[in-house]
Amino acid sequence: MIDLGLARIGRLLQHGPPPVWRAIQVSGTNGKGSVCAYLSAMLHARGIPSARFTSPHIVDRWDCIVVNERIVAEAPFRAAEQAVLQRDRDEQIGATEFELLTATAFELFDAKLPKSSPSALAVIECGLGGGSDATSAMRADRAVTVITRIGLDHQGLLGNTVAEIATHKAGIMRPGVPCVVDPANCDDPDVRSVLEARAREVGATLVYPEATLLLNASRGSASDITHTSSADQLQKLEPHQLSNLACAYAAFRIATGQDGSADAKSTVDTAFLASVLQKLRWPGRLQKVDVGPLLRSVISSVESIPALLDGAHNAQSADVLGAYVDKHLRGEGDSKKPITWILAASHGKDLGEILRPLLRAEDRVAAVTFGAVDGMPWVQPAAPQTILDGATALGVNATTNQYTLTHASKEGRPRHDPQSLVSALQWATSAESGNTGGPIVIAGSLYLVSDTLRMLQKAGGETGLPL
């Protein structure tokens, strides 16, 4: 159930003294999770006690809660969850699933972060929206807030225009607390107006970090081997990754008592950022995986099968994925390759907006479902045929270049077949699909990402998950 508001979660959190840890709260439409991952990695690299709460989870429900860059173990998660559930029952609150999870995360932060260290910081991603999201009920002081790029998503809950959605995202601003804003939000004058009006209303200072400052700072002396290596790390980033890193770095500097404006090259520690990037593990975002282990149960001779795994699930994130695929995977001229896509989507998504930046007429498309999402029973997959219909509308040949393996339930909803992903991979690597070794991309939903990594984990493959 999704029911925005702070009344229930507020009651859940009204116990004990306020937290000692301070919060870095992150809202936005795209890039939230990446900014959170960058931030917690930076804090850990500097030896600052830290925690992170993001959503949705990847493989297990507790892997969305991280303390000092380690996923909390199942046992303490279950214990904290039971304490929250008991409070919910005793006080007859009727909290939603996400509110219960949020309260569980905060319970674990209170237990595991040093109680006598005011330097401890928790990086907290809004689940949906901003001001009325459950995370905004936290009792912790904010060190800084961050608003990543805002776009159309969850229109039924947040509004039908980007400006309306921005109103929700801007709700995380707090009096006297700096707010780091992705400068891309200034491209839409209505969005900028909303953000600036909210900042004036509450007395928050807006900080717009420029990604070009990171690149400029990375162009140092070629004779400095360490600097050259650091520069290479930064210059390999895609534009959206660089923007997310710039937002995270500005927020990190503010939260740790430094100048967050980063208006000079000398304020950018490129070696530090490069070391963070080298160690960062953030699955499901332009992630290169070997899906060979998934096929070995049916084809024993299978070796390595490289694929790109990405959770792009709205127009903005599809634009980013499409640009990456065009630049790095398709090739040009005589070496141009069609892409074999394995796609799923959540029910109710605007499939045209997602598919248009991704598909070309020569591509091949397998449509699949994803399984039940633990703790999120309201999430349902789109019917695979609707994905294929969208592909047909974009010129993908329905007879030779499309595939699905699903069966409708009695209610007409798609019934998930756990073998649909394996079957799609078999098709994607077979002569039947016409794929002669071309790139495979698995995308369209973070829940499909979760299914893929969960299956890889069971098959003994590499998932890229934090320890």
38-96 per-position pLDDT tens digit: 999 999 999 999 999 999 999 999 999 999 999 999 999 999 999 999 999 999 999 99
CA separation for the pair 164, 155 (Å, rounded)? 9
Phi, psi of 268 (to 5 degrees): -100, 115
CA nearest to 172, candidates 211, 214, 151, 143: 143
Q: Which of 309, 340, 279 is nearest to 461 (CA)?
A: 309
Check residue 229 and give its pLDDT: 63
Give the pLDDT of residue 279.
87
- Residues β-bridged to residue 443: 343
- The segment(s) of the chain belonging to CATH 3.40.1190.10 are 7-279
CB 181 within 8 A of CB 157: no
- The CA distance from 79 to 75, in Å, is 6
Q: What is the pLDDT of residue 264?
A: 42
Only one residue has tokens 């503010």, namely 254
d(CA 176, CA 194): 18
Q: Residue 432, SS3?
A: helix
pLDDT attached to residue 262: 44
Cα separation, 385 vs 389, in Å, equals: 6
Please give the Cα distance from 343 to 384 (Å, whole number).
Answer: 8
- In this prediction, the residues of the chain whose per-residue pLDDT falls under 50 are 221-227, 262-266, 408-411
Question: Rounded to an integer, what distance in angstroms lies between the CA atom of residue 434 and that of residue 364?
Answer: 8
Residues of the chain with CATH 3.90.190.20: 287-458
| CATH ID of 287-458, from 3.20.20.80, 3.90.25.10, 3.30.300.30, 3.90.190.20 | 3.90.190.20
Question: In angstroms, rounded to a whole number, what is the distance separating the alpha carbons of residues 101 and 86?
Answer: 13
Of 388, 343, 351, 350, whose CA–CA distance to 370 is shortest? 343
Instruction: Give the single-character DSSP code of 134.
Output: G
Assigned superfamily of 7-279: Mur-like, catalytic domain (3.40.1190.10)
Nearest alpha-carbon partner for 355 in 390, 316, 403: 390
56 upstream amide cis, omega within 30 of 0: yes
Q: CB count, 10 Å around CB of 2?
A: 15
Residue whose tokens read 């975002």: 285
Cβ count within 10 A of residue 73: 11
159: left (phi over 0), alpha (psi -120 to 50) or beta: left
pTM score of the predicted model: 0.90
The answer to whether the CB of 136 falls within 8 A of the CB of 25 is yes
Give the separation between CA 298 and CA 296, rounded to whole angstroms: 5
